A and B are shown apart, each in its own frame.
Chain A
Amino acid sequence: MKKENLIQKWLDHDLNDQELEAFKQLDDYNDLIKLDAEIGGFKANSFNDDNALEHIWTTINSTKKKPIKLLSTLSKIAAILVICFGIYFYTTTLDTTSNTLASQHKSLALPDASQVELNAMSSLTFNKSNWDDSRKISLEGEAFFKVAKGKQFDVETSMGTVTVLGTQFNVKQRTNFFEVICYEGKVGVNSEEKNITLLPGDTFLIIDGKYIATEKENLKHPSWLDHKSTFKSIPYREVIAEFERQYDVNIELKNIDGTQNFTGSFIHNDIEFALKSITLPLQLKYSKTDNIIKLERE
C-alpha cells in the first residue's frame, strides 16, 4: 500500500492491524508520532456541561421578559405613528395662508392652476383639501386673480364677496375702501351697499360706505403688477396709505385735506420720483427723515 494512503488512513483512525504494521515501518513514522503527541497539547479547554447549560437557562429566563418589552416598544411606535398621522391629517386640512409685508409682492398658484398676484401688506387664505368642492378664498388687502375655468370661485373680504366663474379681476379691500375691477369675463360683487355684475373694464368702488361710479378701465391688468400704483379720483389719504404700503414708510400730513381727490400714479421702485409724483400735482413739499416723511403745503 502506498505511503500516502497509509498516512491518510492513520489520520482517519482507520488502520487495521496489518496496515498498522506497515505504517510503523514508514520512514516518517517517528516524525508523525512525535507531531501527533505534541499536537495533543493544543486541546481546547474543557468545560462543565451542566454549569454551562444552567447558565444558558438563566440567560434565557432573564430575557424572557422580552415579549413584554417588545409589546411596549410596539405600542410606543404605534403611538408615534398615530401622532404623526394626526399632525399630517391636521396640517393637510388646515387652511393655507399667504402673507405679504410692506413693499412686497408675491405671486402664487392655487390648486387648480389659478394665478394670484398678491400686493403689499395683504393676506390670503384658502383650504387646499376641499378646494375641489368649493373654490373659496379669504382676502385682506389687494390681489389680482386669473381664475381658471371651473366651478364658482369666491373671494371673501370683510366688505363683500366677489363671485366669478373664470376671469381676471383685481380686488382691493383696505380700511373703508373696497374696489373690484373686472378685466375679463363677468364678475359678481355682493356687498352690503350693492349687488352688481361687472363686465370687462367695469369698476366697483366703495369708499366710506358710499358707492362711487367710475369710468371704464382700459388696462388689461392692474397697474400695480407693473410696479406702479394708479389712481383716478381717489381720496388723497388712500393714495398716501398705498404709498406707505409700497415703500414701508410712515407719512404725516400737515394741514392737508386727506379727502380731496387725486388722479395720477406713482412707481414702486424709486421713492424720490414717486414722492414727487404724489406731491407736485398738489403743490406740496416733502421732507424725509429715516422712515418718516412729512408733507406740507408750500
Chain B
Amino acid sequence: MSKPLKDHICEENLFSSIFRKYSKDLHDFLYYKFGSQLNPQDKMQEAFVKLWENCAKIPQDKAKSFLFTTANNLMLNEFAHQKVVLKHRKILTKNSTNINPEFLLQEKQYRAKLEKAIAGLTEAQRVAFLMNRVEGKRFKEIAALLDISTKAVEKRIYGALKKLRKDIEEL
C-alpha cells in the first residue's frame, strides 16, 4: 500500500524532493515563456521560498500548481509585456566537414529567421513547443505541468510547428 500523501510539506526533506522534482521544469517554463531578461532562476527560487512560507496550507499534490502559478505571477508583476526574444546559443554543428563560408552564412541567416519566428509565436505555443522540442518532453508530461489536456498540448505544439515553418519560408 502506498503511503498516504502528507497534507502539508513543511518538512525539509519533502520540500527538497519537491524542489528537485520541479525546479528545472519551473525554470524552463519561465524561461520559454518570459525569456531571460527577467531572470527566471530568481523567480523560480522566489516561488519556492513562497511555497515554504505557505507550506502549512498547501498539500503535496497542490505544490506544483502553487509553484507555477506563483512564479508566473511574480513574472507578470515585472513583465512589461515587451516582446520575448529568445537568443540562439551557437552550438557546434556536428558534421564539421560541411564548414564552408557559404554554409555558415546560410546557417546564420536561418538562425536569425528562427529567432524571429519563435518570437512570433504565442506564449502558450512557445512554452509548449520548446518544452517538447528542446527539453524532449512528451505531450503528456507537458499537459501535467501546465494543467491542461494532452489534446491542447498537441494542438499548441503542432500549431507552433506549422507557424514556424510558414514564417521561416516567408522571411
Contact = CB atoms under 8 A, between A and B. Distances in A.
A109 interface: no
Interface in A34-66: 34-36, 38-47, 49, 52-53, 55-56, 59-60, 63
A49 B114 CA distance: 30
Interface in B76-106: 86-91
A59 B40 CA distance: 17
B166 to A, nearest CB: 12
Contact of B23 (A14, A40, A49, A60): A49
Interface in B116-171: 118, 130, 132-136, 138-139, 154, 157-158, 161, 164-165, 168
Given A11-B132, A60-B49, A41 B31 contact: no
A53 B111 contact: no
Contacts of B69: none
Question: Which of the listed residues A28, A41, A44 has the most CB atoms from chain B within 10 Å of its own CB?
Answer: A44
A21 interface: no
Interface in A1-29: 7-8, 11-14, 28
B138 A43 contact: no
Chain B interface helix/strand/loop/mixed? helix
B114 A39 contact: yes
A39 B128 CA distance: 13
B154 A35 contact: no
Contact of B45 (A13, A34, A56): A56
Interface residues of A, number: 30
Given A53-B19, A55-B45, A44 B111 contact: no
Chain A interface helix/strand/loop/mixed? helix
A42 B49 CA distance: 28
Contacts of B88: 38, 41-42
A41 B111 contact: yes
B36 A41 contact: no
B130 A39 contact: yes
Given A35-B168, A41-B88, A45-B36, A56 B114 contact: no
Contacts of A32: 161
B60 interface: no
Contacts of A272: none
Contact of B53 (A31, A38, A63): A63
B138 A41 contact: no
Contacts of B133: 11, 36, 39-40
A47 to B, nearest CB: 5
A52 B45 contact: yes
Given A38-B110, A44-B31, A59 B138 contact: no
A61 B19 CA distance: 17
A44 B32 contact: yes
Contacts of B132: 11-12
B41 interface: yes
25 contacts: A7-B161, A8-B154, A11-B133, A11-B154, A12-B138, A13-B136, A14-B138, A28-B165, A32-B161, A38-B110, A38-B111, A40-B134, A41-B90, A42-B130, A44-B31, A44-B134, A44-B135, A45-B36, A46-B24, A49-B20, A49-B23, A52-B19, A55-B45, A60-B52, A63-B49
8 nearest A-B residue pairs (beta carbon): A44-B31, A41-B88, A39-B133, A44-B28, A12-B139, A56-B48, A43-B134, A59-B49
